Amino acid sequence: MDGAPAPAAQAVPAERDAIIRVRGLVNRFGTQTVHDGLDLDVMRGEVLGIVGGSGTGKSVLLRTITGLNRPAEGSIEVFGQDVLRVSAEERTEIEKRWGVLFQDGALFSSLTVAQNIMAPMREHLKLPQRLMDALAAMKVTLVGLPSFAGAKFPSELSGGMRKRAGLARALSLEPEIVFLDEPTAGLDPIGAAAFDELIRQLQQSLGLTVFMVTHDLDSLHAICDRIAVLAEKKVLVTGTMADMMEVDHPWVREYFHGPRARAAQGG
Ligand SMILES: Nc1ncnc2c1ncn2[C@@H]1O[C@H](COP(=O)(O)OP(=O)(O)OP(=O)(O)O)[C@@H](O)[C@H]1O
């Protein structure tokens, strides 16, 4: 390591850069233990891909960090605050600083796309209607939807457009972190690649931190700075795609060296 800084000096930047810090997380449902002492750091400004076999608790991890599931044990710091122990008011302030895109988009079916985008604004900000209309129109454009999409109901849109609309709503309050649960699931390869590209562009232009649960090897290649593998009830390993290729673990080897992985690498 260049310059050989003192050990204490090395520790400080890592502490400061973690925007999410999960420690000793335990999640149980009845007799089933899904997470058992899970640790994870998400660094500010990165796109982190969360992968793992089916049922390893990727969605549960996302839901636990965002407060939709209360863990049995552990601590979760976001923006340096312990989200499991803050007051309700503090929690609301924290929630305004992140957005979530659930797998199905989770849009309100009785509201138009623009009204969906305005829903978090109505809840958290006191803005005149005309300003909200203008902001919603901007978000529609930001996610690459045609401007007429704002007046449509979710059922009138294609799956890919609904995903974009869900992303626009997640970006409604100009968050610092976005949580994405399998954002490209159900999209055709071209639509999925376009959505990956959109996430990458937004991450770069808005300086977002992206926490993305995915099964999509193409997404991992295209946009993830780092990957965290869930296995054995914890985060087994984190690192770059190149790091993953070196991991000697049956699931990791199969996933990153299997035929689908070779196809994603173009080989
Ligand atoms: N609310 C709940 N009540 C009971 N069990 C739950 C609940 N939520 C999740 N589980 C269980 O926790 C485990 C992990 O679920 P989770 O949805 O996080 O898996 P996943 O890794 O996202 O899987 P997949 O890749 O198939 O989507 C599963 O066995 C699931 O049945």
- What was the ipTM of the complex prediction? 0.97
Ligand 1 site, residue 56, Cβ cutoff 6 A: yes
φ/ψ of residue 100, rounded to 5: -130, 135
Taking the C-alpha atoms of residue 39 and residue 210, their distance in angstroms, rounded to an integer, is 18
pLDDT grade, residue 11 (50/70/90)? very low
Atom of ligand 1 nearest to the CA of 57: 18
Residue having the nearest C-alpha atom to atom 7 of ligand 1: 29
Q: How many helices (H) and strands (E) does the chain have?
A: 11, 10
Residue 140 contacts residue 151 (beta carbons within 8 Å): no
Using most ligand atoms within 8 A of CB, pick from 26, 27, 34, 251 the residue to mutate for ligand 1: 34
pLDDT grade, residue 5 (50/70/90)? very low
Ligand 1 site, residue 214, Cβ cutoff 6 A: no
Atom of ligand 1 nearest to the CA of 181: 22
Helix axes 159-170, 113-124, angle to 10 degrees: 20
pTM: 0.89
Taking the C-alpha atoms of residue 155 and residue 14, their distance in angstroms, rounded to an integer, is 45
Flag whether pLDDT at 7 surpasses 50: no
How many other CB atoms sit within 10 Å of the CB of residue 83? 19
Say which CATH class 44-66+87-264 falls into. alpha beta
Taking the C-alpha atoms of residue 43 and residue 234, their distance in angstroms, rounded to an integer, is 18
Higher per-residue confidence, 97 vs 3: 97
Atom of ligand 1 nearest to the CA of 30: 4
Ligand 1 site, residue 60, Cβ cutoff 6 A: yes
Residue having the nearest C-alpha atom to atom 3 of ligand 1: 29
pLDDT digits (tens, 9 = 90+) for 44-67: 999 999 999 999 999 999 999 999
pLDDT digits (tens, 9 = 90+) for 150-194: 999 999 998 889 999 999 999 999 999 999 999 888 888 888 899
Name the residue among 227, 243, 181 with its Cα closest to residue 40: 227
Using most ligand atoms within 8 A of CB, pick from 54, 59, 181 the residue to mutate for ligand 1: 59
Ligand 1 site, residue 64, Cβ cutoff 6 A: no
Atom of ligand 1 nearest to the CA of 62: 18
Atom of ligand 1 nearest to the CA of 56: 21
Q: How far is the CA of 49 from the centre of ligand 1 (A)?
A: 18
Sheet with 234-239: list strands edge to edge: 98-101, 177-181, 209-213, 47-52, 226-231, 234-239
